[in-house]
A and B are shown apart, each in its own frame.
Chain A
Amino acid sequence: MSYKADFRIWRGDVDGGELRDFKVEVNEGEVVLDIIHRLQATQAPDLAVRWNCKAGKCGSCSAEINGRPRLLCMTRMSTFAPEEVVTVTPMRTFPVIRDLVTDVSFNYAKARQVPSFTPPADLKPGEYRMQQVDVERSQEFRKCIECFLCQNTCHVIRDFEDNKAAFSGPRFLMRIAELDMHPLDVADRQKAAQEEHGLGLCNITKCCTDVCPENIHITDNALIPMKERVADRKYDPLVWLGNKIRRRGSGD
């Protein structure tokens, strides 16, 4: 089945822009990115859009469709009624470059602020064998395709530009959780999560989880466990006392 769909697409750059209306053909089985490509081919050859894989794996085509942050290549046209107007805008948390393309370098800057995996200094290569149960938990987080839809949706920075300096966002707080759960990592991730990466700004309202195209349980499996670890470290007098008395090493 083929029909003509009404599209509204934001066109512009940092100096301003507007939503423009287009009528464009839609065929069975197509996704929003197909329609954007058809528009480029037929009506708007200079329409800027970022994409690479068209398979939901490269994380390039993040945008907002009818106000919801999504991957253009993974949003099927069949989710919309034929008479529905489909509005496509760039992500609204990052600076726009042109049309649907935004400058996501905020995320790369935040990524660089997370110290990399830090094994014990005296550990020689080959000395440690990981057990499956120890890697399992962080394997979920490694499915991340770095589309930054979670970063874009998070109200902490989406609605409050001022918080960008203090908040690393769900993607990188999840990275910190992943490292903190690693059996061999010895860096102090807990204090850093709270004091340098703004974990306390997250109010666990789960929008990051809602939009993640990899269905990673960011809030339940990374952010909340990390908040609990921070509570152990900073806010729980009994745990603090217990650790003082037992003087346990990092062996657990």
Chain B
Amino acid sequence: MATGTTGPAGGTGTNAPGRARIQARHLRTDRWWLSPAVTVAILSAFIVYSTWRAFANDDYFAEPYVSPFYSPCLASKCDSMPMSANAPLFGDWWGMSPALLILIFPLGFRLTCYYYRKAYYRGFWASPSACAVPEPRGKYTGETRFPLIMQNIHRYFFYFAAVVAVILSWDVLIAFRDEHGAWGHMGLGTLVLLANVLLIWAYTLSCHSCRHIVGGKLKHFSEHPVRYRFWGFVSRLNGRHMELAWASLFSVALADLYVYLVASNAFDDPRFF
């Protein structure tokens, strides 16, 4: 930074030549740091929790509930989970936790999500922390170069996420059995998994790539009335994308925690019928 408040601006950023010479980096007086700080705190907590659970390789199944972190199981070394949508594609040689195989997809989906991008660019990278608060760096290339140009593959993660959502829905369906496999049961766990899957669906369908695919890419809505209606529906959900991103993040962690508590016998699943 140049010195003094009266000389001509000759620096960088908001002090680039020609601009009003103001020494303060920014003049915001509100608590602009609160929202990025909360974002960092929550995302970090989630990362710690999910890393622990993903590597734990234990307590992810309590008949008839399966944790969303471990479904579907793509390795063959899983607990026996009757009726689950497991597909041992990776066979025996995969020695680590099977969660790691499947979590790549929801992780990639959220990592490249337009909302989470905003959240972590602001929270973790201060790019920018808040509006009109300058970035702490001298150069910026946005999403024009590797690796960030890879954010453009978000739509592929959307397709995978839709498949995962179908599988998690199946998991809810089979949670309407009791521990012996007889249908017509419902416990608190069923409701927990159901609430989670509804939020996962809402989050997945509210995705900007989904909005584009169902109709946003069209130039003539009037020639595609059905897609236009889908687009309208997804657009309404999309308006809540941020809220759904957080709600489904919490719900997926809670659903896993619930299964963990039941599977580790810390808690007995209350049965309704």
Binding site for B on A (CB under 8 A): 10, 12, 14-19, 64, 66-69, 84, 87, 89-90, 92-96, 102, 131, 133-134, 136-137, 153, 155-156, 158-163, 180-183, 185, 198, 200-207, 210-211, 220, 224-225, 227-232, 234-236, 250-252
Contacts and interface: CB of A to CB of B under 8 A. Distances in A.
A228 B155 contact: yes
B153 A64 contact: no
Contacts of B141: 201
Contacts of A161: 12-13, 16-17
Could you tell me the dominant secondary structure of chain B's interface residues? loop
B208 interface: yes
Interface in B115-135: 117-118, 121-122, 127-128, 131-135
Contacts of A251: 220, 223
Interface string B196-234: 000000000000110110001111111110001000000
A154 B6 CA distance: 26
B142 A96 contact: no
Contacts of A68: 28, 30, 131-132
Contact of A15 (B8, B30, B144, B220): B8
B31 interface: no
A18 B131 contact: no
Contacts of A94: 19
26 contacts: A10-B22, A14-B9, A14-B18, A16-B7, A16-B21, A17-B5, A17-B6, A17-B21, A67-B26, A67-B133, A68-B30, A90-B20, A92-B14, A92-B19, A131-B222, A155-B128, A158-B13, A159-B13, A161-B17, A200-B144, A211-B131, A220-B238, A225-B208, A225-B211, A235-B153, A250-B219
Contacts of B216: 225, 228
A216 to B, nearest CB: 14
B273 interface: no
B105 interface: no
Given A15-B8, A161-B13, A204-B118, 8 more contacts: A17-B22, A19-B22, A92-B19, A93-B14, A131-B221, A182-B219, A204-B121, A231-B152
Q: Chain B, interface size: which category?
A: 35 or more
Among A68, A102, A137, the most chain B Cβ lie within 10 Å of the Cβ of: A68
B22 A155 contact: no
Given A133-B228, A202-B142, A16 B6 contact: yes
B166 to A, nearest CB: 20
Given A159-B140, A201-B141, A93 B19 contact: yes
A133 B235 CA distance: 14
Among B4, B12, B13, B121, the most chain A Cβ lie within 10 Å of the Cβ of: B13
A96 B114 CA distance: 34
Nearest to B159: A238
Given A92-B19, A159-B14, A201-B144, A133 B155 contact: no
B22 A66 contact: no
B179 interface: no
B27 interface: yes
Given A14-B18, A95-B19, A228 B217 contact: yes
B20 A205 contact: no
Nearest to A98: B20
A205 B208 contact: no
A67 B21 contact: no
A44 B100 CA distance: 67
Contacts of B212: 225, 228-229, 232
B117 to A, nearest CB: 6
A183 B219 contact: yes
A251 B219 CA distance: 8
Contacts of A205: 118, 121-122, 127-128
B39 to A, nearest CB: 12
A160 B17 CA distance: 12
A152 to B, nearest CB: 8
A186 to B, nearest CB: 10
Contact of B131 (A204, A207, A227, A236): A207
A147 to B, nearest CB: 15
B180 interface: no
A204 B117 contact: yes
Contact of B128 (A64, A67, A87, A159): A159
Contact of A155 (B5, B28, B127, B144): B127
